[in-house]
Amino acid sequence: MATVELTTENFDEVVSGNEFVIIDFWADWCGPCKMFAPVFERSAEKHDDIVFAKVDTEAQPQLAGAFEVRSIPTLAIVRDNVLVFQQPGALPENVFEDLIRQARELDMEEVRNSAKE
Protein backbone atom coordinates (compact mmCIF):
# COMPACT_ATOMS: atom_id res chain seq x y z
CA MET A 1 0.00 0.00 0.00
CA ALA A 2 1.29 3.45 -0.85
CA THR A 3 1.90 5.91 1.93
CA VAL A 4 -0.60 8.68 2.55
CA GLU A 5 0.42 12.31 2.85
CA LEU A 6 -1.14 13.69 6.03
CA THR A 7 -2.25 17.31 6.11
CA THR A 8 -4.38 19.34 8.48
CA GLU A 9 -7.21 18.87 5.97
CA ASN A 10 -7.21 15.05 5.91
CA PHE A 11 -5.73 14.24 9.34
CA ASP A 12 -9.00 13.53 11.17
CA GLU A 13 -10.38 11.47 8.30
CA VAL A 14 -7.25 9.33 7.98
CA VAL A 15 -6.47 8.84 11.67
CA SER A 16 -10.05 8.52 12.96
CA GLY A 17 -11.10 6.40 10.00
CA ASN A 18 -8.45 3.73 10.49
CA GLU A 19 -7.64 1.40 13.38
CA PHE A 20 -3.85 1.42 12.95
CA VAL A 21 -1.82 4.35 11.61
CA ILE A 22 1.95 4.82 11.60
CA ILE A 23 3.07 8.40 11.02
CA ASP A 24 6.51 9.49 9.85
CA PHE A 25 7.25 13.18 10.55
CA TRP A 26 9.98 14.26 8.12
CA ALA A 27 11.45 17.13 6.11
CA ASP A 28 13.13 17.24 2.72
CA TRP A 29 16.37 18.72 4.11
CA CYS A 30 16.74 15.99 6.78
CA GLY A 31 19.44 13.41 6.02
CA PRO A 32 18.22 10.77 8.52
CA CYS A 33 14.68 11.25 7.15
CA LYS A 34 15.91 10.41 3.66
CA MET A 35 17.75 7.35 4.99
CA PHE A 36 14.63 6.12 6.81
CA ALA A 37 12.20 6.75 3.92
CA PRO A 38 12.96 3.49 2.03
CA VAL A 39 12.57 1.48 5.26
CA PHE A 40 9.18 3.12 5.85
CA GLU A 41 8.11 2.45 2.24
CA ARG A 42 9.13 -1.24 2.36
CA SER A 43 7.18 -1.74 5.58
CA ALA A 44 4.16 -0.02 4.03
CA GLU A 45 4.27 -2.57 1.22
CA LYS A 46 4.46 -5.50 3.68
CA HIS A 47 1.62 -4.41 5.99
CA ASP A 48 -1.39 -3.59 3.85
CA ASP A 49 -3.70 -3.59 6.87
CA ILE A 50 -1.89 -0.58 8.38
CA VAL A 51 -2.06 3.01 7.11
CA PHE A 52 1.44 4.43 6.68
CA ALA A 53 1.29 8.21 6.63
CA LYS A 54 3.90 10.92 6.19
CA VAL A 55 3.83 14.47 7.53
CA ASP A 56 6.11 17.00 5.86
CA THR A 57 6.93 19.12 8.90
CA GLU A 58 7.83 22.10 6.70
CA ALA A 59 4.46 22.07 4.92
CA GLN A 60 2.43 21.01 7.99
CA PRO A 61 3.93 22.79 11.02
CA GLN A 62 0.55 22.66 12.81
CA LEU A 63 0.55 18.85 12.81
CA ALA A 64 4.18 18.71 13.92
CA GLY A 65 3.28 21.14 16.71
CA ALA A 66 0.23 19.15 17.75
CA PHE A 67 2.47 16.10 18.20
CA GLU A 68 5.17 18.23 19.86
CA VAL A 69 7.75 17.04 17.34
CA ARG A 70 11.13 18.48 18.34
CA SER A 71 13.41 16.51 16.04
CA ILE A 72 12.96 14.52 12.88
CA PRO A 73 12.39 11.94 11.79
CA THR A 74 9.82 11.18 14.48
CA LEU A 75 7.59 8.12 14.37
CA ALA A 76 4.14 8.03 15.92
CA ILE A 77 1.78 5.06 16.12
CA VAL A 78 -1.94 5.59 16.61
CA ARG A 79 -4.22 2.62 17.33
CA ASP A 80 -7.96 3.10 17.76
CA ASN A 81 -7.42 6.88 17.98
CA VAL A 82 -4.94 6.46 20.85
CA LEU A 83 -1.31 7.54 20.51
CA VAL A 84 0.52 4.42 21.69
CA PHE A 85 4.08 5.27 20.62
CA GLN A 86 6.11 8.29 19.65
CA GLN A 87 9.88 8.55 19.34
CA PRO A 88 12.38 10.58 17.32
CA GLY A 89 15.10 8.92 15.30
CA ALA A 90 15.49 6.77 12.21
CA LEU A 91 15.15 3.06 12.94
CA PRO A 92 16.88 0.16 11.20
CA GLU A 93 14.41 -2.03 9.30
CA ASN A 94 14.53 -4.95 11.75
CA VAL A 95 13.87 -2.64 14.71
CA PHE A 96 11.01 -0.92 12.87
CA GLU A 97 9.45 -4.28 12.01
CA ASP A 98 9.74 -5.35 15.66
CA LEU A 99 8.07 -2.11 16.72
CA ILE A 100 5.19 -2.82 14.33
CA ARG A 101 4.88 -6.35 15.78
CA GLN A 102 4.76 -4.97 19.32
CA ALA A 103 2.15 -2.37 18.36
CA ARG A 104 0.01 -5.11 16.78
CA GLU A 105 0.17 -7.15 19.98
CA LEU A 106 -1.05 -4.34 22.23
CA ASP A 107 -4.25 -5.07 24.10
CA MET A 108 -6.07 -1.85 23.27
CA GLU A 109 -8.71 -2.40 25.93
CA GLU A 110 -5.94 -2.54 28.52
CA VAL A 111 -4.31 0.57 27.00
CA ARG A 112 -7.59 2.51 27.18
CA ASN A 113 -8.23 1.37 30.76
CA SER A 114 -4.77 2.39 31.92
CA ALA A 115 -5.20 5.79 30.23
CA LYS A 116 -8.33 6.39 32.32
CA GLU A 117 -6.43 5.86 35.58
- Which residues make Cβ contacts (< 8 Å) with residue 37, sequence separation at least 6? 24, 26
What pLDDT is stored for residue 117 in this prediction? 66
pLDDT at 115 over 80: no
Domain range list for the chain: 4-116
Apex 13 CA angle, 86 and 35, nearest 5? 40
What pLDDT is stored for residue 113 in this prediction? 81
Give the residue numbers marked as catalytic.
30, 33
Residues 18-74 pLDDT 10s: 999 999 999 999 999 999 999 999 999 999 999 999 999 999 999 999 999 999 999
Domain 4-116 has CATH 3.40.190.10: no
What pLDDT is stored for residue 54 in this prediction? 97
pLDDT at 81 over 60: yes
Apex 84 CA angle, 72 and 27, nearest 5? 15
